[in-house]
Structure 1
Amino acid sequence: MNIALMSHDHKKELMVQFCTAYCGVLSKHTVCATNTTGRMVAEATGLPVNLFLSHAHGGIEQIGQRIIYNEIDMVLFFNDPRSGELDDSVLSISKLCDKHSVPMATNVATAELLIHGLARGDLDWREVMNPNRIPFAI
């Protein structure tokens, strides 16, 4: 499974803590992220993280395109509701996930549910839906 990580500035440390806690599950999958979030997660966990551009340079749009082409299986986008900075981006990614049936979490509680489901195999239907997918690469 291809898992995309994104987070508002005030939620980056929470994303790092989350990925550290679930490093064992994430290590069995391909992880990609916007630049700053991805670098922080990779440094803290040792996980290989495929980096997209930063948000300011189009990283969220890059992930959006991967969703459209069915190359992302799960999105973890830790949203800071107090920040108006990325609200349009959160909405855009949310709409794409809804349109293309990609599970998305915008907070740590929902992310935990998705990660536990991923570990149990509850999201294997994504693999069945697209069995001939080309392996993820940036």
Structure 2
Amino acid sequence: MQPRSGIALVAHDSCKQDMVDWARFNRKTLSAHRLYATGTTGGRLVDEVGLAVTRLRSGPHGGDQQIGSRIAEGDVDLLIFFWDPLTAQPHEPDVRALLRLAVLSNIPVACNRATADFVISSPLLTGRDPWTTELVPA
């Protein structure tokens, strides 16, 4: 059995439909992993895509911080965060803190569909070396 990764899924309001569309396209791959999402995004992924998701609070109500806590605890191996660079967010400090923690924890961060596609299709996501059939040492 392949190792399961913890994947956090976060999307600003203007990017939620992109996240749903992307998750629908990658449903099979995502369903093999532990998924965490902020409130509304998680609800849409459950209702519209049929994924099993651990739903946390909405981003502005502490959800970004809860995702950050999961990163700090080692439960999240990948952050997929579709954020809107053109719209100011009332919880911008939380967003910056989440991204900073992901970088400091050396976990991959995908901020758009193109990057998310590269990361989710990587053999490294499952802990397998792309050049062999053996597990990569931890």
Q: Does the alignment reach a TM-score above 0.5?
A: yes
1:67 maps to 2:63? no
**Aligned residues of 1:79 and 1:90 also touching (Cα < 8 A):** no
Residue 104 of structure 1 deviates from its aligned partner by 0.7
Deviates more, 1:88-97 or 1:75-84: 88-97
What SS is found at the alignment partner of 2:114? helix
Q: 1:18 to 1:69 in 2, by over 3 A?
A: same
- Aligned partner of 2:18 in structure 1 is 14
Q: Does 1:90 align with 2:91?
A: no
Aligned residues: 125
What is the identity, as a one-letter code, of the residue corresponding to 2:23?
Answer: C
Q: Do residues 115 (structure 1) and 116 (structure 2) align?
A: no
Structure having the higher Rg: 2
Report how far residue 35 of structure 1 moved: 0.6
Match of 2:60 in 1: 56
- Percent of counterpart pairs with the same letter? 34
2:111 is matched by which residue type in structure 1? T
Aligned equivalents of 2:95, 2:111: Cα separation in 1: 8
1-side partners of 2:137 and 2:74: how far apart?
A: 12
Aligned-partner Cα distance in 2 for 1:47–1:34: 14
* 1:54-111 residue CA offsets vs partner (Å, 9 max, x unmatched): 1122011011011111110100000111111054333212211111111111111111
- TM-score normalized by structure 2? 0.84
User: Where in structure 1 do 4 or more consecutive aligned residues deviate above 6 Å?
Assistant: none
What stretches of structure 1 of length at least 5 have no aligned partner?
130-138
Give, in angstroms, the shift of residue 128 of structure 1.
5.4
Q: Supply the AA of the counterpart residue of 1:68.
A: A
If each structure's helix is expressed as a fraction of its own residues, which one has the higher value? 1
TM-score, normalised via structure 1 length: 0.84
Distance of 1:50 and 1:66 partners within structure 2? 11
Unaligned runs of 5+ in 2: 129-135
CA drift of 1:8 comes to 0.7
